[in-house]
Chains A and B, each alone.
Chain A
Amino acid sequence: MAKYQFKKKSDEPSDEHIRSKMDFNKILQQQQDLNNYKLATKPLYKKPLFLGFIILIGIICLMLIFDEQSPEDATVKPVRDSVVVDSLKK
């Protein structure tokens, strides 16, 4: 299959005709549409709200883990074996 279609140059359209094709408002609208499209298709992990939510969940998890470890167990002093043996002898 041919890759290219060779065509003899045709006459360029007039300046007036080209000007009729100009529409700056359309450009602004298309740019806005592109913005909206990019926002709509932005991956979830890149959204700040989602990231904030993940960080919050992380903090809560860490708090729960430390909370479970910290209570009375940590305050109980370890009893040395020799003390136990002494008390048994008595």
Chain B
Amino acid sequence: METKHQTISEIEAEWGLVQKAQKDPALFAPLYNKHFKPIFLFVLRRLQEEDLAADLTALVFSKALYNLHRYSYKGVPFSAWLYQIALNEIQSHYRQSKKERVVSFSSETLLSLSHDINEEEELELLAEREQQLLQSLEELTEEEMVYIELRFFEGRSFKEIADIRQVTENNAKVKTYRIIERLRKIILIRKR
């Protein structure tokens, strides 16, 4: 995972850079250089097309720069704001193209989700169970899928999820566990 927790002093130092960029767009370059890779990978995982991901990432940064005068410090990392813009752009891309939304996962991340749903310790997820789980995920809404992706497929902390979704950490936890509960019910209904 490309993100790491930022300390308050790091977040404040970054706010200093934002303030400079608000006065002169050319000074946005250090922020662009710092956040390009994580945002590009975040978009790429959801599009699976490199050129498209590069274009959309460029759009994310231009929109960020365009709206930078509206950005104010709320004690959360600047990257959280960039992730919000990226998520909006990805949603808007899928709405316009009417394509199926790509969800990237690995066997390990799916196994960790399966553990949380079944509360059973398994060493590996059997192909049949994996298929069953993916079919259940199909029933989730876009918003619910974002939480599952952030938490399980990208391994983000609840604090990060809260910052990206603009909710409290507690709220992010409650929402995630409600989604898991819903998945549990969907799987049970499918088994019957």
Contacts and interface: CB of A to CB of B under 8 A. Distances in A.
A28 interface: yes
B189 to A, nearest CB: 18
A4 B137 contact: yes
Interface in A29-78: 30-31, 33-35
A7 B41 contact: no
Contacts of A9: 45, 104-106, 109, 153
A5 interface: yes
Main secondary structure of the interface of A (DSSP, over half): mixed
Interface in B58-110: 58-59, 61-63, 65-66, 99-107, 109
A70 B132 CA distance: 87
Contacts of A5: 99-103
A34 B62 CA distance: 8
Nearest to A38: B66
Given A13-B50, A22-B36, A7 B145 contact: no
A10 B107 CA distance: 12
Contacts of B102: 4-5, 7
A51 to B, nearest CB: 22
A18 B59 contact: no
A29 to B, nearest CB: 8
B114 interface: no
B48 A27 contact: no
Interface in A1-16: 1-10, 12-13, 15
Interface of A: 1-10, 12-13, 15, 18, 21-24, 26-28, 30-31, 33-35
